[in-house]
Amino acid sequence: MSTTLAKSDATVDYAARLEHVSKSFSGPGGQQLVLDDISIDVAPGEFVTLLGASGCGKSTLLNLVAGLDRPTAGAITTDGRPALMFQEHALFPWLTAGKNIELALKLRQVPKPERRGKAEELLELVRLKGAYDKRVHELSGGMRQRVAMARALAQESSLLLMDEPFAALDAITRDVLHDELTRIWQETGLSVLFVTHNVREAVRLAQRVILLSSRPGRVAREWTVDIPQPRRIEDAPVAELSLDITEVLRGEIRRHGQH
């Protein structure tokens, strides 16, 4: 059981590799198996979504890849240290938007004189030019998530882990941020592992959709999404594939007796 980071100067053919990963937690009735024998590769520059019903272990799996916890069995290897973006923006309210980003730069030991310029560049990348001095309470929900995205990008990781980052946003703001994330992914060449329970969101964004079964989470099925970008969530091919995936997801839920 291990979680390791590949050397930054190593030539690797994956951004993340999960090999026979399982995870158990202690509970009132003994050990509870949450994830069972999961093997997934995320290629460099690939956008992969993890989809499944609530409680199937999606966020647990993302935490393992991030190195926040260790698998009970199996091995996880990543090409450098991943950056992680949560559902909640987790910005420090006493800092400005720019200073929140600079904190990530400071942890990377970027020299102080360079931090503001880099933070402003990242704010411009997420379409928040001029927001450096804005306080968190002055920002809308969508703007806060943009700052959180900029802070994650400040870590200069080749792998971005996203745990339902748009789930709390209204539909229109979420759709705008889908566009922004797609643009940033294409511009930067990042690898993205994105957790969601929203089937259309998964198809709207990803090159590959991986469905986890209900607990214990196992890889139940995966789909390659051969729909050209840019995509819209209401596009007919997106809707058609979403219906197919939803039927399989419903079958998994019924099979495991969840409602």
CATH number, residue 170: 3.40.50.300
The whole-number pLDDT of residue 169 equals 87
Do 168 and 254 share a domain, yes or no? yes
In a domain, 38, yes or no: no
Q: Which two tokens stand for residue 74?
A: 């199996």
Check whether residue 171 and residue 256 sit in a common domain: yes
Residues 119 and 188 in one domain: no
- Domain-located, residue 175: yes
Q: Does residue 208 lie in a domain region?
A: yes
- Say yes or no: 184 and 56 in one domain: yes
Q: Phi then psi for 160, rounded to 5 degrees?
A: -105, 120
6 domain-assigned: no
- Domain presence at residue 12: no
Give the per-residue pLDDT at 156: 87
B/e letters for 167-204, b = 16+ CB within 10 Å, e = fewer, are: eebeeebbbbbbebbbebbeeeebbbbbbbbbbbbbbb
Within this chain, do residues 195 and 245 fall inside the same structural domain, yes or no? Answer: yes
Last residue of a domain, one of 126, 141, 156: 156
**The total number of structural domains that make up the chain:** 2
Does 247 lie in the same domain as 214?
Answer: yes
Residues 138 and 256 in one domain: no
Closest CA to 229 of 195, 205, 253: 205
Same domain, 259 and 165: yes
Contact present, 105 and 118 (Cβ < 8 Å): yes
Task: Tell whether 236 is covered by a domain.
Answer: yes
Q: 136, 156, 176: which is the final residue of a domain? A: 156
3-class DSSP assignment, residue 41: strand
What is each CA distance from 244 to 194, 210, 211, 241, in whole angstroms? Answer: 20, 13, 12, 5
Give residue 4's pLDDT: 64
Same domain, 147 and 107: yes
Domain of residue 173, residue span: 45-60+161-259
Alpha helices in the chain (DSSP H): 58-66, 97-107, 112-125, 141-153, 171-188, 199-205, 236-255
146, 166: one domain: no
Domain end marker among 109, 129, 156: 156
Please tell me the predicted confidence (pLDDT) of residue 208.
98
Q: What are phi and psi of 60, to 5 degrees?
A: -60, -45
Task: Name the H helices within 67-170.
Answer: 97-107, 112-125, 141-153
Residue 6, token pair as written in the block: 């590949």
* Exposure on the CB side of residue 87, measured as CA atoms within 13 A: 12
What pLDDT, on the 0 to 100 scale, is given for residue 201?
95
Same domain, 133 and 218: no
pLDDT in the model for residue 32? 87
β-pairing, 2-6 with 73-79? parallel
Residues 50, 172 within the same domain: yes
Residues of the chain falling short of pLDDT 50: 8, 258-259
Straight-line distance from the first to the last Cα atom of the chain, in angstroms, rounded to the nearest whole number:
33
Please name which of 190, 199, 250, 197 lies closest in space to residue 223, comparing C-alpha atoms.
Answer: 199
Closest Cα partner for 249 from 179, 197, 183? 197
- Name the nearest CA neighbour of 18 among 87, 85, 70, 95: 70
Is 102 among the domain residues? yes
Q: Specify the pLDDT at position 11.
A: 64
- 181 within a domain of the structure (yes/no): yes
